[in-house]
Structure 1
Amino acid sequence: MSEVTVEFLWEEGADRALGLPHYATAGAAGADIRANFPAVARGGLRLAPGSRALVPTGLRIAIPAGFEVQLRPRSGLALKHGLTLPNSPGTIDADYRGPLGVIVLNAGTEMFEVTHGMRIAQMVVAPVVRAAFRAVEELPDTVRGAGGFGSTGTR
């Protein structure tokens, strides 16, 4: 398994005791990210069903060139409470240096409280392949052809 270094800078007023993102197990692909509210808002926030919010992490990030970070929902929060990331996976580009925030959506049926220190998402570091784009007069044939949604069957 290869390793790449992602650097973080603490935002002013962030609760450093929450630590940096971390992998919960040796086999985890995603590192958990915590909600890190400023001192004046450490009570967190309440999300009504259908509402969304930007949750601060207290961090800024530097991703090495040739990589991206993808933010994804945590499966337990999605299953138990309907908490998801509406732009999942959210992509953070290598040249972004602003605050790292997580857009969350309460797709559940009950009010949901995001508390200070809660693990709200997971981040996956992935290589980026840039493509060249060109227009052509026709595309090569395939067995599937132009078959769209559901065209490959249900089995």
Structure 2
Amino acid sequence: MTEKVDVLLLRLDPELPPPSYAHPGDAGADLVTAVDVVLPPGERAVVPTGIAIALPDGYAAFIHPRSGLGAKLGVTLVNAPGTVDAGYRGEIKVTLLNTDIRETVRLRRGDRVAQMVVQRVGHAVFHEVEALPGSARGAAGFGSTGGLSAAGAASEHNSEEGA
């Protein structure tokens, strides 16, 4: 069963709907824009959502892009995921980015523009050491586990040689 977390919600714009889950079991609650937004190609805008929240200590809210906006319109969030700390009491705003290189995107007040995932978070206690213990991965990063098929890797390698 999903853990329930009590979150205090202040609707700064009572005409807008509160965050809600579209389907049972969804991780993210939809957030809407409080204003009409016009995003020309490659442009970004900070968009108010009309809500403020108070999270319990030990929790944070993470603001994620909506996959449908990305797939259909090329709209994403600049700092995805955005972090709302438990102590923040201001309006939640999202920084939308139109990644489409040709089409202007128009969003209407009340359109769903992001989703908020509330999660339990821990506080790290940092211990400075002279060296870190070994691991199977070590310091390998940025593509060290592959990701391209053998054919894709070969064609990428060949195009680099031909350049």
- TM-score normalised according to structure 2 size: 0.85
Aligned partner of 1:24 among 18, 22, 25:
22
Structure 1 range deviating more: 101-110 or 80-89: 101-110
Deviations 1:98-149 (A, max 9, x none): 1111111111131001210000000000001110112111111112222222
Partner of 2:90: 98
Q: Which runs of 5+ in 1 are unaligned?
A: 38-43
Query: 2:15 is paired with a residue of what secondary structure?
Result: helix
- Matched to 2:19, the amino acid is P
Cα pair 2:11 2:18 within 8 Å, conserved? no
Query: 1:46 is paired with a residue of what secondary structure?
Result: strand
Cα pair 2:45 2:95 within 8 Å, conserved? yes
Partner of 1:40: none
Partner of 1:41: none
Matches within 5 A, 1:105-120: 105-109=97-101, 110-120=103-113
Q: Equivalents in 2 of 1:143, 1:25: separation in Å?
A: 39
Structure 1 range deviating more: 106-115 or 82-91: 106-115
Pairwise CA distance, 1:19: 1.6
Q: Equivalents in 1 of 2:11, 2:30: separation in Å?
A: 16
**Where in structure 1 do 4 or more consecutive aligned residues deviate above 2 Å?**
152-155
Partner of 2:49: 57
Q: Percent identity?
A: 48
Partner of 1:2: 3
Structure 1 residue 149 and structure 2 residue 142: aligned? yes
Partner of 1:121: 114
- Matched to 2:62, the amino acid is Q
Pairwise CA distance, 1:6: 1.1
Q: Equivalents in 1 of 2:90, 2:29: separation in Å?
A: 19
Query: 1:17 is paired with a residue of what secondary structure?
Result: coil
Matches within 5 A, 1:11-90: 11=12, 14=13, 16-37=14-35, 44-90=36-82
Deviations 1:66-122 (A, max 9, x none): 100000000000011110001000000000001111111111131001210000000
Cα pair 2:16 2:50 within 8 Å, conserved? no
- Matched to 1:145, the amino acid is G
